[in-house]
Chain A
Amino acid sequence: QQQVKQSPQSLIVQKGGISIINCAYENTAFDYFPWYQQFPGKGPALLIAIRPDVSEKKEGRFTISFNKSAKQFSLHIMDSQPGDSATYFCAARGSNYQLIWGAGTKLIIKP
């Protein structure tokens, strides 16, 4: 119940295309769903986050879509650029302030 399942494990997208990464969860008590971006040799950094009372949040080229009934949420990167190549993690926050992390998706944007 504490797991967050993330897919795909890796993704290759052409420059200018749309990158989509999906996550699913079971615990309905989760109250915050962030996405983190990690570049090689760096720590993860918060990219965008959403609360379960909102179905979509957009920040620039990055959008989170949230489906509460399906217990799924996804990250969409529009007009993907080579600089977006990184590992992306979804996560969910439980009542004890811990983040439960997905396994990560390695995204490669081909020029």
Chain B
Amino acid sequence: DAGVIQSPRHEVTEMGQEVTLRCKPISGHDYLFWYRQTMMRGLELLIYFNNNVPIDDSGMPEDRFSAKMPNASFSTLKIQPSEPRDSAVYFCASSPVGGGYEQYFGPGTRLTVT
């Protein structure tokens, strides 16, 4: 298996632009998690899905952030409009059936908003 796939790996954009991050979980995993990592705040859970349904989005910073999972093999995290404080590494992780005992992380997307 290729593991969790994220794209793009790096994104540089200007303030006010829309940013879309993409994730392909490991096949057969039914939990998908979006995290944000910064030096100041560490690893923060933004939202997670079970069987493509959002379960808890209480970690989403504000309405500028949205996430979708249209099918079991694809999820997006969108920021519109982006701001410099959104600069971070965004990770997607997936877990197999039965819950988040082991979360398999993707390589991350490093987002820089100028």
Query: With A43-B93, A96-B56 in contact, is A104–B43 under 8 Å at CB?
Result: yes
- Across the interface, do B105 and A32 meet the contact criterion of CB distance under 8 Å? no
Docked complex: B76-102 residues within 8 A CB-CB of A: 91, 93, 95, 99-102
**Chain A residues with CB below 8 A from B31, complex form:** 97
**In the complex, B34 has a CB within 8 A of chain A:** no
**Chain A residues with CB below 8 A from B107, complex form:** 41-43
- Across the interface, do B105 and A45 meet the contact criterion of CB distance under 8 Å? yes
Measured CB to CB, the nearest residue on chain B to A43 is B105
Among B42, B91, B93: residue with most chain A CB under 10 A: B42
**Chain A residues with CB below 8 A from B43, complex form:** 44, 89, 101, 104
Docked complex: A35-60 residues within 8 A CB-CB of B: 41-46, 49
**Chain A residues with CB below 8 A from B100, complex form:** 93, 97-99
- Across the interface, do A43 and B102 meet the contact criterion of CB distance under 8 Å? no
* Majority secondary structure, B binding face: strand
Among A42, A43, A89, A101: residue with most chain B CB under 10 A: A43
Give the interface size class of chain B.
20 to 34
**Chain B residues with CB below 8 A from A49, complex form:** 101-102
**Chain A residues with CB below 8 A from B104, complex form:** 45-46
* Cα separation A22 to B79 with both chains bound (whole Å): 36
**In the complex, B108 has a CB within 8 A of chain A:** yes
**Chain B residues with CB below 8 A from A43, complex form:** 4, 91, 93, 105-108
Complex A-B: 28 CB contacts under 8 Å: A34-B101, A34-B102, A43-B91, A43-B93, A43-B106, A43-B107, A44-B43, A44-B91, A44-B103, A44-B105, A45-B105, A46-B102, A46-B103, A46-B104, A93-B99, A93-B101, A96-B56, A97-B48, A97-B99, A98-B48, A98-B56, A99-B45, A99-B100, A99-B103, A101-B42, A101-B43, A101-B45, A103-B42
Instruction: Please list the residues of chain A having a beta carbon within 8 angstroms of any beta carbon in chain B.
Output: 32, 34, 41-46, 49, 89, 93, 96-99, 101-104
